[in-house]
Structure 1
């Protein structure tokens, strides 16, 4: 009898243990079930992924036009009229080369041109006279038969041809001297080094008394009207960038926030850096541009919610 009671107790204890295990696996009613780490939902094939948000980019402020104004001819620098930081206008005289010799040669060439023109006028009159004489002889010979000898008619024709050749030579000398005058005038013009556009002098390479060769830089000039920012965009953020997108260039050191618009975007990704180069035109009047702005590294912040559309 005792053995039956003991066996029944063991069975009851086993059933109790099984129930506890089931309860632990399923969770008790009203209690949350703790699930394991979840996996991200897989994207359906063909569904485009959203581009990452466009953030600030590192860029550099540049002037639209930067040029080393060079000497067009070889010569001695007699004057440099600008210094570092000077603002100049288009065609303003930057430097002057010695032009005394060219001016002296130009005076001689102009005087010679006057003489050759006088010779040309004389040759024109001689040619007209020879033409008229030959014409009269031909008319007289046709009216009076053999009134004039063949020698006289031939002499008149030859005289006309000779006058025509002298006229052609006189005109050639005039053209040659005109070319000489134009050449000297161009040389004098080139010896005056002038600004090709409105800008600011950022470098002065020579001083008065220096001898320069053709093509040697004299002054560096940057345009003061247009400022641009050139910046690099990672290729994965390229879809968030478009022409016409408003941007803001922030310079903490100067306390500036300069607005602008993206106008140019490179059509290809740089193979080495995997970056897309873009340029934006900045809106900042020349009078408000602080010194040293060009070439400064800045942070470019495109608008996050712009309705700008790509320009065709």
Structure 2
């Protein structure tokens, strides 16, 4: 018995390390398989597709001004005896604004009226004589011509006297007054400026690349620095037909509501217009970096059952970091959010982050 024990002891000593080694190798193989399986799943960041607003906005600015601005100039050379309106006055059509000294013109008018009456009487007398054949037709025609000349002279001086009264051509507000009583005004010298406050407008310029997205009648918001608590609904009244040759900007006219002046808007206020250009409110889009380009067109990788699936897509515009997908993708799908150039169809992945 002792001999058998002595024989088995060396064998045990030989087999024990082998068993331990095999067990260790088995554990190492299991750990290696687990590690390799984990390494085969590439970590990626994804984007969950949802509709985005890719509308482009531009901010324009311009000063408020009356659509109709009327400059009233002097039609006479003379001194002003009265100035009856000043800045801020609301005037009615035909209202007297100023009056010139027209004494000399009035005297000339009286003389012209007398000459006209004298010529009229002479013409009537010769008409009666013509019936009795005591004068010739030529004498009557000369008398008639003299009467017409006298009447034209009277009308000329009447017009000059009328020019001495400066009147408002329509309902408006006086925005500037350039003369004072007693001053001598030259012919065509500016006297007043009027503005029609019921039609206030802004005239901003917009890039030639953007104007094609606008239309007459389009409603746009107008914000005024002087009235920050309100936003007015402006309307594009007209789009000018030509771009400026230097700036390549096209002027547009934006009309404010008719009651804007009553609401506190004044000419000269600075208006800001945040306009939506090329509206795209609900657009399927992905990060621009997620779109690859191959020989057959554009593509992206969609994550399905933890694997990458290549999807051919039709792309639209790119705005900032987002690219529009017109065809090939729907909302709520998961797409690879990074550059797809180093990825391949069927690659096993694990999601480690979300973008967007």
Q: Which runs of 5+ in 1 are unaligned?
A: 6-11, 28-32, 39-49, 132-159, 307-312
Instruction: Give the deviation of 1:194 after TM superposition.
Output: 1.4
The answer to whether the aligner puts 1:280 opposite 2:234 as a matched pair is no
The answer to whether the aligner puts 1:263 opposite 2:237 as a matched pair is yes
The structure-2 alpha-carbon separation of the partners of 1:264 and 1:76, relative to structure 1 and needing over 3 Å to count, comes to same
* Aligned with residue 171 of structure 1, among 130, 140, 144: 144
* Aligned with residue 63 of structure 1, among 54, 62, 66: 66
Q: From the two aligned structures, give the one with the greater helix fraction.
A: 1
Quick check: 1:51–1:239 contact (8 Å CA) kept in 2?
no
Quick check: 2:221–2:275 contact (8 Å CA) kept in 1?
yes
Hey, what's the Cα distance between the residues in 2 that align with 1:19 and 1:286?
Answer: 77
Hey, what's the Cα distance between the residues in 1 that align with 2:246 and 2:54?
Answer: 22
- Deviation string for 1:60-85 (max 9, x for gaps)? 21101112210112121111110111
List aligned pairs for 1:234-245, cutoff 5 A. Answer: 234-245=207-218
Partner of 2:267: 294
Instruction: Give the deviation of 1:86 after TM superposition.
Output: 0.6
- Deviation string for 1:263-282 (max 9, x for gaps)? 11234444443433211211
Hey, what's the Cα distance between the residues in 2 that align with 1:234 and 1:245?
Answer: 17
Instruction: Give the deviation of 1:94 after TM superposition.
Output: 1.2
Scaled by the length of structure 2, the TM-score of the pair is 0.61
Hey, what's the Cα distance between the residues in 1 that align with 2:142 and 2:226?
Answer: 74
List aligned pairs for 1:156-167, cutoff 5 A. Answer: 160=135, 163-167=136-140
Quick check: 2:226–2:269 contact (8 Å CA) kept in 1?
no
Q: Which runs of 5+ in 2 are unaligned?
A: 1-17, 19-24, 48-52, 280-356
Scaled by the length of structure 1, the TM-score of the pair is 0.69
Hey, what's the Cα distance between the residues in 2 that align with 1:297 and 1:216?
Answer: 30
The structure-2 alpha-carbon separation of the partners of 1:37 and 1:239, relative to structure 1 and needing over 3 Å to count, comes to farther
Q: Secondary structure at the match of 2:232?
A: strand
Q: How many residues align?
A: 252
Query: CA-atom RMSD, angstroms?
Result: 3.5
Hey, what's the Cα distance between the residues in 1 that align with 2:193 and 2:128?
Answer: 56
Partner of 2:178: 205
Quick check: 1:84–1:203 contact (8 Å CA) kept in 2?
yes
- Deviation string for 1:126-173 (max 9, x for gaps)? 222126xxxxxxxxxxxxxxxxxxxxxxxxxxxx5xx32221221111
- Deviation string for 1:215-246 (max 9, x for gaps)? 10011111122111222334444344221111
* Aligned with residue 248 of structure 1, among 212, 221, 224: 221
Q: Secondary structure at the match of 1:288?
A: coil
Q: From the two aligned structures, give the one with the greater strand fraction.
A: 2
Quick check: 2:225–2:269 contact (8 Å CA) kept in 1?
no
Quick check: 2:214–2:277 contact (8 Å CA) kept in 1?
no
Quick check: 1:69–1:219 contact (8 Å CA) kept in 2?
yes
